[in-house]
Structure 1
Amino acid sequence: MKHPAEEKFLKTVREHDLLKPGDHVILGISGGADSTALFSLLADFCPGILPVTLHPVHVNHMIRGKAADSDQQAVEELCRSRGLRCRSIRFDCIGEARRGNMTEEEAGRKKRYEMFDESAEALIGQGIDRTQIKIATAHHADDQAETILLHLLRGSGADGLAGMEYRRKDEAGFMLIRPLLDCRKSELRDYCSVQGLVPRVDQTNQDPSYGRNRIRLELLPYLKSYNPKIEDALIRLGKSAGEDRAYLQKQAEEMYRNCRIETDAPGTALHRGKAAELPHTMRIRLLRLALADAGLTEDFTAKHLEALDHILCSGDPSAETDLPHGLTGRCVYDRLEIGNFQEDRSSAKGDGKESGPAGRVCVFAAEDLPQGLVRGTYACFDEEKLVRKYGENAAGKICWRRRKPGDFIAIPGGRKKLHDVLIDDKVPKNRRDQLYFAALGSEVLFLPAWKKGSGRARYSHSYLVEENTKKVVLVEKNCRI
């Protein structure tokens, strides 16, 4: 007889189509009961039922000193006992939080997801298809209840009441899955006990100075005096709101296709008349889709959406409103356009003009490569391979420029047009002709991350650095560009 956690895990995976045989699963594992249980379910329970390849990832946040180091050792030993290698990283969470003016929770979460995406990119570099890569987190039903309550306190709207989704794409386009979202915390702890697993205990989970901890340690116990089963009530609310969200989103996507206008101009455009006739709730969803199409998926608020909705319905043929990251919403008679129009007017377009200050090119002995390079802003290549293709002083021929017709980049098994790469990476139209990259002739060597704060970058796979590489060509973007 299966343990309740096993039954719920399999039911969730099947009902929400989270995993398929042959998938590669990047698993965030802290060593706590939740991630340890998910590790066991994937590593021990799944092979005969749903065979997948596991890639465990552990982030040592260095907040608890020796205890955090012990957690890392325990996680790595657990992985070795299953014949798996755990990719671990030590990360100064407190220092990064101070430097980035964010909470430790935010800094830790940001780093974990960067690690997940880096691991996914490495798998693509090994020839694994993107659709076979899943990033699994151990969020469970109790986490869901806390999330819904947190969203309620923040006033995040009806969609926020749905809480976390079973599956969604992250910023880099990788599929994020939550196979334990129907399991209760108590069931996962019991599963670990039955399996003889000894999870690590993170004492910071008892620290009420962290926002989510206060909800779990103080608010939920207080609410239980009104409803002893408050978590069950919140989970039911989330499921109901999630069904409504899924239905409304599907309707909005169909309406967006009907209202969207194909255009060669920067950003995206909507037919004002068609969009303005929709109910307010559908217009807001429509505008969210339009913002995403224009490259804005975060850092906007309900006020920005309401401002867009106001000019959409205003009847003013030239109304405008400012949006984050230099974007503008503007009306042009019967169209609502969203894009970076000032940049489009003021910047040279598609001329391939070279720019010295855009970045640097340096040659180093492999062992002398500088430390502290920023992810997404640099790439390294084997000098000897470049010389074989482009002759002596190949590094000196590398230039930084914007795109021009015929540009391509080498990928595993062949090459791809730069135009297609930019589309795949969802670079907004108005940004594509403004990006600087390192190139040799028409071959793109390195395309830096186009989005601030993202490590998503592209590099040629023809000249990769290997163990026997003697000299490394470093191409690094000037971060002011």
Structure 2
Amino acid sequence: MNEFERKIADFVRSEGLIGAGERVLAAVSGGADSVALLRVLQAMRDEGAEFEVAVGHVNHNLRGAASDGDEAFVKVLAERMGVEVRSESVDTVGHAKKHRVSTETAARRLRMEGLGRMADELGCGLIATAHHMDDNAETVVHRLMRGTGYRGLGGIWPRKVFGSGRRYVRPLLCVRRREIVDYCTDKGVEWRHDHTNDELVYTRNRIRHAVLPGLEAESEGDLVRELFGLSTAARGMTERIEREAKRCWGRIVRAESGDRVVMDRAGFAELTRGVRQAVARRAIVRIGCGERDITRVHYESIFELAGNASGRIELPGGYEVVSEGDMVVFGKVREQREAVHPARQVLAVEGVTQFGIWEIRAEVLGADEVDMAAVEGNADRRVEYFDADRVEGEIMVRCREDGDRFRPIWGRGVKKVGKFLTDLKANERERGEVVVFEDSEGDILWVGPLRASEKAKVRADTRRVLRVEMDRAGQK
């Protein structure tokens, strides 16, 4: 191995990028970077490294015959080196039009999807890409231009696991682009040139060919290496903060299921800023929103929201963050907020009543079956107890209506339900989810799941107790 190859091999070992027994799919476009990547991986194997290599190529069909030429070149290269190869041809322009995204975004998506399929087909647990130190510098500068934080300054990570569980490694991050070109030239290695990388219509290319060279000309040292050092330090800070966020997660998260994460609002708000952002990011990823379109403005809005007992902000892709009393809820925008409930229906005693988003269970118990002290000190708003013998006729379950009045338990006199909700500081969601329980005389027994009325409350002489419990559908 020469000095260039040894430098990369040392980086792979120090970063733990490729383990013994791994099978690696090298993403080879045909350019100098990816050809050098394949050559170095093979050189490491020749020196006794215990991993296997295969090649994957995605033809984006953006340059006509040139794209087909790239594909043919990669296949011949792999065959000459005795490496198994797979390729996929994709319609990048068609995907961009169909999904209304840029050509760059479409190409990136299709490339990752294609490489993933090829990795599965070839039994590769790792995908190696040819990102190098200059790519990292371009990424950091690009993020600085848009606005970024410590995590963004981390640039391109040597190893990364995406949401799909797919593992990527970048063995060439320790070398400059010019070192790669010199290596290929000295080895007499051929490569393909993609002329679209020279077109200044793309922001990335302008940074590569104009912005970075200008900054380097004004710098005393090697700016690209300095930025790599900055990224390394930022990644270290990110990892420390992520560990702390993981430790705090179990303490402040009250519930987590599918597309919903419920946090203790006070616990979230008291976290240090960096950890708070890491926890918020973790929640955003967990609910399926993804972080690509999440900006600093979104995080600032979440932090401000957590300081209030009610409020809501929207996230990209149909997701939201809602402050509800002592909770902060991350999740999909729930149609239940505007859900149309049945006008009214009779409560099924000794059964389950489905009403909008609620599953309501009711049962009659003897006084001797109930802990009366627990009833009196009941703090669970979803459960309420009534004197079954003081309930007039059937109980009707319905939505709140204008003019509704009731006599809140522990309250002073009759109060309009709307005024009661205002005094309670009920937020938008709580108001929309209120269910009214009334008897056959039209008297309200419970503004569920918030407060029962004085009528039919359990007393010392109660002989039969009606227990009613409200649960969100599917969460019991």
TM range (shorter): 0.5 to 0.7
Match of 1:101 in 2: 100
Q: Counterpart of 1:319 in 2: which secondary structure?
A: strand
What is aligned with 2:217?
225
How many Å apart are 1:266 and its aligned residue?
5.7
Aligned to 1:45: 44
Give the alignment of 1:210-289 within 5 angstroms. Answer: 210-227=202-219, 229-262=222-255, 267-289=260-282
Would you say the 8 A contact 2:56–2:85 is kept in 1? yes
Taking the aligned partners of 2:278 and 2:159, their CA distance within structure 1 comes to 19
CA distance in 1: counterparts of 2:42 and 2:13, whole angstroms: 17
Name whichever of 282-291 and 173-182 sits farther off: 282-291
User: For the Cα contact (< 8 Å) 1:38–1:138, is it kept in 2?
Assistant: yes
The aligned residue for residue 324 of structure 1 is 316
Q: Choose from 172, 176, 187 the match for 2:164.
A: 172
Instruction: Report the TM-score, using the length of structure 2 for normalisation.
Output: 0.66
Task: Show the counterpart of 2:196.
Answer: 204
C-alpha distance after superposition, 1:19-42 (max 9, x if no partner): 112212122101111100111122
Contact residue 105 and residue 210 of structure 1 kept, 8 A: no
Instruction: Check conservation: 1:148, 1:234, Cα contact below 8 A.
Output: yes
SS of 1:135 mapped into structure 2 = strand
In structure 2, C-alpha distance between the alignment counterparts of 1:68 and 1:266, rounded to whole Å? 40
Question: For the residues of structure 1 that align with 2:290 and 2:274, how far apart are their CA atoms?
Answer: 19
Matched with 1:193 is 185
Whether the aligned pair in 1 keeps the contact of 2:259 and 2:288 (CA below 8 Å) is no
* Secondary structure of 2:84 counterpart: coil
Shift of 1:47: 4.5
State the match for 1:342 in structure 2.
334
Matched, 1:311 2:305: yes
Match of 1:156 among 123, 127, 148: 148
Distance 2:48 2:178 in 1: 25
Residue 81 of structure 1 aligns to which amino acid in structure 2?
R
Deviations 1:418-466 (A, max 9, x none): xxxxxxxxxxxxxxxxxxxxxxxxxxxxxxxxxxxxxxxxxxxxxxxxx
User: Which protein has the larger Cα radius of gyration, Structure 1 or Structure 2?
Assistant: 2
Letter in 1 for 2:273: H
Aligned position for 1:72:
71
Q: Would the aligned equivalents of 1:249 and 1:285 in 2 still touch at CA under 8 Å? A: yes
Q: How far 1:306 sits from its partner (Å)? A: 2.3
Aligned to 2:60: 61
Question: SS of 1:88's equivalent?
Answer: strand
Runs of at least 5 residues in structure 2 that lack an aligned partner in the other structure: 341-476
Give the aligned length. Answer: 338
Quickly say closer, same or farther: Cα 1:340–1:238, change in 2 above 3 A: closer
Displacement of 1:62 after TM fit? 2.4
Cα distance in 1, alignment partners of residues 214 and 259 from structure 2: 52
Contact 1:117 1:172 in 2 (8 A): no
Higher relative contact order (CA 8 A, sep 6+): 1
* Residue 152 of structure 1: how far off its partner (Å): 0.9
Q: Aligned pair in 2 of structure 1 residues 84, 158: CA closer, same or farther (>3 Å)?
A: same
CA distance, structure 2, for counterparts of residue 248 and residue 116 of structure 1 = 31
2:280 and 2:318 map into 1 onto residues whose CA distance is 17
C-alpha change, 1:204 and 1:321, in structure 2 (3 Å) is closer
Distance 1:36 1:184 in 2: 15
What percent identity do the matched residue pairs reach?
Answer: 32
C-alpha RMSD over aligned residues: 2.5
Deviation per CA, 1:143-185, whole angstroms, max 9, x where unpaired?
Answer: 1111111111111223211101111112311111111111111
Q: 1:266 to 1:235 in 2, by over 3 A?
A: closer
SS of 1:57's equivalent? strand
CA contact (8 A) 1:4 1:187 kept: no
The CA distance in 1 between the partners of 2:231 and 2:15, in whole Å, is: 16
Distance, in Å, in 2 between the alignment partners of 1:336 and 1:34 is 46
Gaps of 5+ in 1: 348-481
* Alignment CA distance shift 1:282-1:208 (3 Å): same
Q: Distance in 2 between matches of 1:263 and 1:243?
A: 28
The correspondence of residues 395-474 of structure 1 with structure 2, limited to 5 A, is none
Alpha-carbon contact 1:20-1:50 (below 8 Å) kept: no
Mean Cα deviation higher: 271-280 or 110-119? 271-280
CA distance in 1, matches of 2:259, 2:233: 38
CA spacing shift, 1:265–1:78, aligned 2, 3 Å: closer
